Structures are given as structure tokens and as C-alpha cells.
Amino acid sequence: MLKRKAYSDLMKWKEKEGHKPLVVTGARQVGKTYLIDYFARKNYPHYIYVDFSSMVLMRKAFESNLDVDNVLSLMNLYSDKRLDFVPGKTLIFFDEVQECPSVRTALKQFSLDGRFDVIASGSLLGVLNRRNSSIFYPVGYEEQYELRSLDFEEFLWALDVPEDAIGMVCRSIRDKRPLGESLLSRFLQLFREYMVVGGMPEAVVEYVKTRNVFDVNEIHRMILRTSYADMSRYVDSPKEQTLVRACFNSIPGQLSQTNKKFIFSYVDENDGGDGSNATADKYRFALWWIHDAGYANFCMQISEPVVPIEAKVRQDAFKVYLYDTGILMTLYGVDSRIALASEDYSVNMGAVAENIVAECIVKSGFPLRYYVKSNGTDRMELDFIVECGGVNVIEVKSGKNRHSASLRKVSNMYPINRRIMFDITDIRVDEQGIEHYPLFAAAFIRDVLGM
């Protein structure tokens, strides 16, 4: 069993008085079913598991009257074994609820009834919310939790890295103290492994067994095959399926460009077009599908780096990062994996470095934002903006060049709280007040920000 931070969050939900049914969302194969099943078996004397993808008859229990007693009676009717529903001692886990959308409607009745704890989980729930406009999802009668792939700290737990070593790193980050060559080198190596392996549970388990970064490649490809299958199954028309695949396939190439803003003409040109027919309207559906399926992290441009940042978000300019950097590395191919593993900085790994930092920021609970000023004398581009005690600006450097004109300029133009660079050096504050942290510190950004 991989140790997941989400387990503690599930315990908090269970112990909270008056908790409502919990809906656990997340991309496919991030570990939702395994985690919830483990949690249920550990904490409830009575546990009912319903998988709507394989237990097709169970869907009939939710076809008409959604009164709790009626639903439970029908569940027993359609089950191949007796189901014991004991009030106050039972967790009912509805899995793969995308196959039976009316379960979400029934959660209101379970919430009002209050006799049983209920968790519903599934993939592509955001996609289905948009597709099934006729399905009623009760507002205020459920809680939601998004599960993502393993973060770097969870990856370290899986590798049995000592807790005291992780704690030492976190304290040094918080105090802005150098780690020293030995600790820095070790954690940079572990972070490179994490970038190649990624955080998908099956890939991590395989790596724990073999410690070979190339053994996880086929697992990543299997996950990608499942993703493409979803694009066929859950996108209605062949034309829209083609657009979704084209947008998804363009992400690695878009990130490799100097300007990482998502460009619609790039999608069109790489899908056999000439770019002249590429418009936001044409690809809008494809992009929201990828977003709602959980396959990408969207980083929205802001008009200026001032608080409140969310009031400055633009809807017409954004970057798109892949949801798991290990899968991105598989898409880039074997040469990129070898370059990263061998610390070959002659290969431009800027796209990978930005993707992993974006992933770390999202997994730490912050929205992704960036800033660009492309005209005038004070041009600048800031990779990420995080609002926490003010505006914190972040640049990412993957190679030996750690020069940043943008970080130097920005504090002369805006009231900036912190200027942060994630690179491959030890922790330090330079003569201009710019804070330097090794790339892996992005996984501990809450410590960086003193939270």
C-alpha cells in the first residue's frame, strides 16, 4: 500500500460531524479505487462496494425512486450476495459512477437520510457533468475531493527515504539555509527519478520493485492508450474526437517552444493543416474536455502581477502542462529520459522542468498563473505567479544559465513579496534579493512560502 496524504484527508472527512457524501474525482489511474477501498476496510465494520462498470444490474436500483430505503432494497435484489446496511457503521462506496450518473442525484437523499457514510468516485466526472445537462446534481448535499497522482514527498515515502532526511530538507527550505552538497545531490537525483517515473501509482510501484526508470515506460504507454480510448468513448462525434486528440498530442511540442503559450495554429499545423483555420472556437470544446478529464493543468495569464491575482486572469491566453511529468517524459522519448537521468544539460529540458514545477504547484493547492509583458522597454516573462502573503513571482531554470532579467525588473515595477528561482543549485539569496532553491523545493512550496 502506497502511503497517500489523501488517506488523512479521508479520515478528517469521516471524523467531521455532519459530513455529507463525498465525491472523489481525478484522472484515470491516479489511485482512487485502491485508496478508498483500503480506507473503507480499515475504518468500517460494514463496507458495501458497488462497481457500476462491472455490476451492470446495479444501475437499475437508481432508475426511478431514489428514496434511500428503496435504493437499498433494490441493491440487495440485484446483488449476488446479501448486503448488510447497518446504520452508523456502514460505508457505501459507489465506484465508476460515470457509468450511472443518477447516483449523483441520489446523494441528496443519502445526505438527508444520514444513516450511512457514502463515497462516490469516478473518472471524467467533469466531462460528464457537461454532457449530461439533463442529470440533476444536488448542490449543497455532497463534498468533493480531487485526487492527483503521487507528489514528490509521497514518492520519497514509497522509496523508504528516511523521514528525518525529508524533514531536514523542509527545515532548510523554510529557513533559507543551504542543504550542503551531499543532501543536495541526493535529493536532486531523487527528483530526476521522480520526473522520469512520475506519480501514477502503478508506475511508482513498478519502480519501487525494479529501480529501473525504463521499466515504467510500458505502464505509461498503457495509461496513454486508456486516455485515447476515453477520447473515443466519451467524445460524441468523430470530428470532436480528432480535435481532442490533436490538442492533447500538441502539448509536448507546445511546451518545447520558447513561447509556451498555447497556440491554436500549432495544433492545426501538426494535425495536417496549414494553421489558417485554427481558431479558439474550433478547439474550445477539445480544450475543456482535456481540462475536465484531468489530463492537463492549465496556467492562465494575468494582466498584471498585483493582488488580487484572480481579478487579473485573462481567459484568452494560457499555457497547458501535462498532468503527470513521467508521462510527458515517455512522450518525449528515450533520449530525453537518458539526458535527464545522466544530467546532460546540453539537452534543453526547460519544458520538463516547467511541467514538473507546475505539477508541484497544483498539487500544493495553488492555481497556476503566469505573467508576460511583450511590448515596451520593460519586457518580461514570469513563469509562475503565486499569491500568498502578497505576490510571489517564480522562474524555472533547468540548466547552468541562472540569469533572469525578468526577476530583476519586476520588483521595480510592482509591489512583489518574494522573487524565487527554482534551479539546480543549493539554497541561497543572491545580492539582488532573489531566492534560489533547487528544483525539488517546488514540491515543498508551502515551506518555501513559510506556510
List the domain range (segments joined by +) for residue 109: 5-146
293 within a domain of the structure (yes/no): yes
Q: What is the pLDDT of residue 45?
A: 98
Say which DSSP state 213 is in: T
Q: Is 317 helix (H, G, I), strand (E, B) or coil?
A: strand
C-alpha cell at 44: 468500517
In a shared domain, residues 288 and 435: yes
Q: What is the pLDDT of residue 203?
A: 98
pLDDT(272) > 70: no
Which of 194-209 are b and which e, b meaning 16 or more Cβ less than 10 Å from the residue's Cβ? bbbbbbbbbbbbbbee
Contact 440, 381 (CB under 8 A): no
Say which DSSP state 214 is in: T
Confidence of residue 354 (pLDDT cuts 50, 70, 90): very high
Quote the CA–CA distance of 135 and 103 in Å, as a whole number.
10
Place of cell 543549493: 426
**Based on the number of CB atoms within 10 Å of its own CB, is 7 exposed (0-12), middle (13-18) or buried (19 or more)?**
middle
Q: Which residue blocks in 44-148 are alpha helix, DSSP H?
A: 68-78, 102-113, 125-131
pLDDT tens for 120-150 read: 999 988 887 666 655 667 789 999 999 999 9
Say which DSSP state 302 is in: E
In a shared domain, residues 124 and 191: no
Confidence of residue 339 (pLDDT cuts 50, 70, 90): confident
Q: What is the pLDDT of residue 129?
A: 67
Average pLDDT over residues 388-392: 97
In a shared domain, residues 49 and 110: yes
Lowest mean pLDDT segment, chosen from 52-66, 267-281, 305-319? 267-281
Tell me the CA distances in angstroms from 308 to 367, 369, 407, 418, one per residue in order.
Answer: 13, 12, 20, 16
Confidence of residue 403 (pLDDT cuts 50, 70, 90): confident
Confidence of residue 180 (pLDDT cuts 50, 70, 90): very high
In a shared domain, residues 123 and 173: no
Average pLDDT over residues 203-214: 92
What pTM, to 2 d.p., does this model score?
A: 0.94
pLDDT tens for 87-124 read: 999 999 999 999 999 999 999 999 999 999 999 999 98
In a shared domain, residues 273 and 132: no
pLDDT over 70 percentage in the chain: 94
Q: Is 47 helix (H, G, I), strand (E, B) or coil?
A: strand
In a shared domain, residues 411 and 363: yes
203 within a domain of the structure (yes/no): yes
- How many distinct structural domains can be found in the chain? 2
Q: What is the pLDDT of residue 270?
A: 67
Q: What is the pLDDT of residue 346?
A: 53
pLDDT tens for 35-91 read: 999 999 999 999 999 999 999 999 999 998 999 999 999 999 999 899 999 999 999
Question: How many residues in total does the chain contain?
Answer: 451
H-helix or E-strand containing 371?
strand 369-373
Q: Rg of the chain's alpha carbons, rounded to an integer?
A: 23
Quote the CA–CA distance of 69 and 274 in Å, as a whole number.
60
In a shared domain, residues 189 and 332: yes
Q: What is the pLDDT of residue 442?
A: 99
In a shared domain, residues 314 and 279: yes
Q: What is the pLDDT of residue 132?
A: 60
